[in-house]
Amino acid sequence: MEPLVIDGSFGEGGGQILRTTLALSALLGRPVKIVNIRAKRPRPGLQRQHLTSVRAVAEVAGARVDGLRLGSTEITFWPGRLRSGRFRFDIGTAGSITLVLQAVLPVLVYAPGRVEVEIRGGTDVPWSPPIDYVRFVLSRLLERMGYVFRVTLRRRGHYPRGGGVVVVEVPQPPGQLEPVRLDTAGPVKAFEGLSHAVRLPRHVAERQARAAKELIEAKYPGLPVEIETEWYEPGRDPHLGPGSGIVVWAFTGNSVLGGDSIGAKGKPAEKVGREAAEKLLEDLATGKALDRHASDMLIPYAALACGESLLGGAKLTMHAWTNIEIVKRILPEARMEFVEGGEIGEPFALRVQGVCHRAGR
């Protein structure tokens, strides 16, 4: 079979095209040739994090890859048979672990048996969802589709040092995905969160949490807001650091939405906490069931699911638009249409008729 050519320069023109294309190729058994990889980025081509994404999907999918090297702007991916077992991958930098997971998590749904994947790299780094978002928000949304997995954070790794360790276990891959109706959020019920500080004073984590809590309580007086703090005594901190961050999430009648922010040198802890709360409150104000991260992440899953899903996103990001277009090109049988919105930056509702992909097909 001739590889399907995917142009990596369209849409967001970055790593999202690579990750979604690899996952769908591995599952459908369709070879792909990706050209102009990350053409719109200051440093085009495969960087360490992207190399790891390709290697992770290739290893689980028993695939052969041509052109896999640092800086490469073109690869051909020849998928094989999906595997189960234990896998370990090391990005080697502070490259995002969660973006590697974006590529490999959809593939693990259809693995022939129990899977454990360990990834080393950055857990809380700029321009990607922090690992706590995957632990406390994304995992709950995917559970609605019948996909249950455990995320264990063994060590945090912040930019620029990296060195974080995350283990994902899928004890019983479901082999198929259920459709979901996640269009409207429903009434807000409660808020939770986790604020951490690594090799920094305890008050950093506490101030982040307090600032976020105050902002949320001002908007939703009377609702419970429980934000935990994570901090270790000097000499007992297993993480590398230094660094800090916070993820807050809201439980609603129909969903869970999250907001996040990470610390940086010279950035007050109060600003970090407020940023996370502001993102969450902004997305909640739209009334949609999915925050700005989940709005793009769930699209490939819905396209593979057994039935019709309705996804309501707080904001149509360029990542979400790109994911829609990639799915249309690789899996045209999955019908998708906007029933509301469709403009970049605006709330939207997307109807997705999944193809009911099953393990072994």
Based on its alpha-carbon atoms, the radius of gyration of the chain, rounded to whole angstroms, reads 20
Helix, strand, or coil (residue 112):
coil
Q: By CB neighbour count within 10 A (0-12 exposed, 13-18 middle, 19+ buried), where does 343 fall?
A: exposed
- Among 50, 239, 319, 357, which one carries the catalytic annotation? 319
Q: Is 319 a catalytic residue?
A: yes
102 appears as a binding residue in the annotation? yes
Asked whether the bond before 3 is cis by omega within 30 degrees of 0, the reply is no
Instruction: Name residues whose C-beta falls within 8 Å of residue 115's C-beta, 6 or more positions apart in sequence.
Output: 60, 84, 85, 86, 87, 108, 168, 169, 170, 173
- Please, what is the end-to-end C-alpha distance for the chain in angstroms? 17
Beta bridge partners of 188: 252
Torsion over CA: 87, 104, 42, 133 (sign) = negative
List strands edge to edge, sheet with 181-182. Answer: 181-182, 308-313, 348-353, 335-340
Q: Where are the alpha helices (DSSP H) in 263-336?
A: 269-284, 294-304, 318-330
Q: Output the CA angle 82-83-86, nearest 5 degrees.
A: 145
DSSP 47-101: -HHHHHHHHHHHHHHT-EEES-STT-S-EEEE------EEEEEE-SSS-BHHHHH
Tell me the binding residues for ATP.
Answer: 102
Binding residues: 102
Q: What are the residue numbers of the active site?
A: 319
